[in-house]
Amino acid sequence: MGKIDLKKELQTFYNPSAGTVQIVRLPALRFLIIDGRGDPNTAPAYREAVAALFGLSYTLKFMLKREGGADYGVMPLEGLWWTGNPADYADFSPDHKELWQWTALMLQPDCIDPERVERARSELHRKKDLPALDRVRLERFEEGLAAQILHLGPYADEAPTIDRLHRFIAENGYRRTGKHHEIYLNDPRRTAPGRLKTILRQPIAAGGN
């Protein structure tokens, strides 16, 4: 079978411009998902969640390839972030990261089903000790209407780009409705901070306040 190129198939959602805010409508997509809370820089729960997501995603990829299925590239890590009211980003203070709640997720091709996930989980359990592995679940997530923009540079410098995104939403007659969403297109362990690329996405609805 050929190779599935999810980034190409979904380039409207995974290749936005850094110069302009884009309005998109996301369909229901299949993700591996895990929830948690706490400072992502210091909380073991976040590191464990990310390790479980990457481990399971790569195990699924290679398992499918061994079985003669389609090959595909593993998609980037994504995160939903909030505290208090998910639609009120003012609550999402960088000074109190210990209060952050999050959902870490990674997009999967539609050929990945619950039965394959469980077989991959069992295989990975035999190879590695990943404390969060049993909490990963496969779900469809439909974000719907959203505004997004590409942020270039360190994660700590996202605030002006987020402000720009939020101003666009308000000035164009929309209101924020869901959780702040980030998609990490680079591996920060292998990429200089100034070269990091992060998609910032905010679910919206018509009718600004």
- Please state the rounded mean pLDDT for residues 69-77: 93
Residue 189 banded pLDDT, cuts 50, 70, 90: confident
Residue 156 banded pLDDT, cuts 50, 70, 90: confident
- Please state the rounded mean pLDDT for residues 148-152: 96
Residue 45 banded pLDDT, cuts 50, 70, 90: very high
Give the per-residue pLDDT at 142. 96
- pLDDT tens-digit series, residues 55-64: 999 999 999 9
Give the per-residue pLDDT at 165. 95
Task: Of 39, 21, 24, 41, give the one whose Cα is nearest residue 163.
Answer: 21
pLDDT(87) > 60: no
Stated pTM of the model: 0.92
Averaged confidence pLDDT in the chain: 91
Residue 85 banded pLDDT, cuts 50, 70, 90: low
Give the per-residue pLDDT at 22. 95
- Please identify which residue in the block is written with the tokens 């469980």: 118
Give the per-residue pLDDT at 1. 57
Q: What residues contact residue 167 under an 8 Å CB cut-off, 6+ apart?
A: none
Highest mean pLDDT among 70-74, 83-87, 105-109: 105-109
Q: Which domains does the chain carry?
A: 3-206 (3.20.80.10)
pLDDT(182) > 90: yes
- Please state the rounded mean pLDDT for residues 99-121: 96
- Please state the rounded mean pLDDT for residues 117-135: 97
